[in-house]
Amino acid sequence: MPMMSYEAAAEALGINGESVRRMARRKKWRRQIGNDGKGLVEVPDEMLAERADKPEADPPGDREDGREDARALIARLEAELAGARELVSAERRRGDEIAERLATVERDRDVRLAKLEQERDQWIARAMVPWWKRLVG
């Protein structure tokens, strides 16, 4: 496990120097002050090996075909957006159908309720007639 400055560790790990400080504190890596007064940290070999295994990412500005990549990305995003718009319109149509069915069910319910109320009122009217008038009547 090599001892290196925070800046060198940051460069070796591909992260910010402050991130190395926090990581060293959190993972309890050995730290000390060097002869030049700068802080040193002991970075585990596994961390350096992990970083060496990862391929370097090409910065977007270094590519020659950056514009073609951007155009392809834009075309793909536009296709995805068109698909999303189709989904939204399909969901709206589905919502309209459901609302129409619900309105039909509510109308049917109101008609049945009116019939039941009318029947109830007839039964109440019959029940209010005295028993002897029902016998004679």
- Bridge partners (DSSP) of residue 31 are 41
- Banded pLDDT at 95 (limits 50, 70, 90): very high
Retrieve residue 41's tokens. 């940290």
Mean pLDDT of 109-125: 96
Could you give the strand order of the β-sheet that contains 3-5, starting from the edge strand earlier in sequence? 3-5, 39-42, 31-33
The pLDDT of residue 54: 63
Residue 20, amino acid: V
Whole-number average pLDDT of the chain = 86
More confident residue, 34 or 96: 96
pLDDT tens-digit readout, 30-78 = 988 888 888 898 888 887 787 766 655 555 555 555 677 888 899 999 9
If DSSP codes are grouped into helix, strand and coil, which group holds residue 1? coil
